[in-house]
Each structure stands twice: as structure tokens, then as C-alpha cells.
Amino acid sequence: MRDHRELRVFQNADELVLQVYTLAARMPRDELYGLTAQMKRSAVSVAANIVEGCGRDTDRDLVRFLYNAYGSLRETGYHINVAARLGFLPKDEADKTQNKIAQTSRQLAAYIKSIKSRFN
């Protein structure tokens, strides 16, 4: 088993969750069950999929969960983009979160490539 807490990609995904929750607290109240909930759910899903993948026995299972994390990461980026375009979030804070998403995306892609190289 792998310790997800030692992975930089997990640490960044975890920081992303905190950033998204901070932004979500600033969203309009009428978006609580809409865009706000989707942003939070997808951000948590990134970190949770990394954790779950690290708990699996095989590299193939790990990679499957890492791909799920990547999809959730892309989804989070889209939600942040929409919220900013609607004027729900300050542009500078949305940009900061998009930078964290891009950094995490690069790390996740590198980790997937590294793990896949073991079984290709």
C-alpha cells in the first residue's frame, strides 16, 4: 500500500480542496445547491480518488483512480471558470485556483505516466 500523504500530488489536491471551499463560501446563497455544491464535490473527488487509488493493490487499479482524479480536476477547473465568468468569484482568486489546478494536473499526469511505465 502507498501512503497518499507522502505524495506531492495529493498534498496539492488537498490544498485545492481548501481553496475551493474558501471560494465557495463567497458564492451567492442561491447557488448553494447548484454550482457551489458541484465545485466542492468535484474538488474533494480529486483528493479522494488519489487516496482510494493508493489503497488499491495493483498499479492498474491505482492508475484507474488517478484518471478519475484527473477527470474531477478538469471538472473543478470548469466550475471555477463558470463561477468567475458569472461574476461570482474575484478574477484574481479564480486565477490563483486555476494555477493550483494546472500545477496539480501536471503532477497527476506525471504520476500516471510513471506508474503506467511499470506495466507497459
pLDDT, position 14 = 98
Model confidence band, residue 118 (pLDDT cutoffs 50, 70, 90):
confident
Number of domains in the chain: 1
Which string of DSSP letters, residue by residue, matches 73-115? Answer: HHHHHHHHHHHHHTTSS-HHHHHHHHHHHHHHHHHHHHHHHHH
| Domain extent at residue 65 | 4-116
Domain of residue 54, CATH code: 1.20.1440.60
Q: What's the alpha-carbon Rg for the chain, to the nearest Å?
A: 15
3-state secondary structure of 57: coil
pLDDT in tens, 64-86: 999 999 999 999 999 999 999 99
Q: What is the pLDDT of residues 19-78, one digit of tens each?
A: 999 999 999 999 989 999 999 999 999 999 999 999 999 999 999 999 999 999 999 999
Q: Shortest CA distance to 112 belongs to which of 76, 73, 59?
A: 59
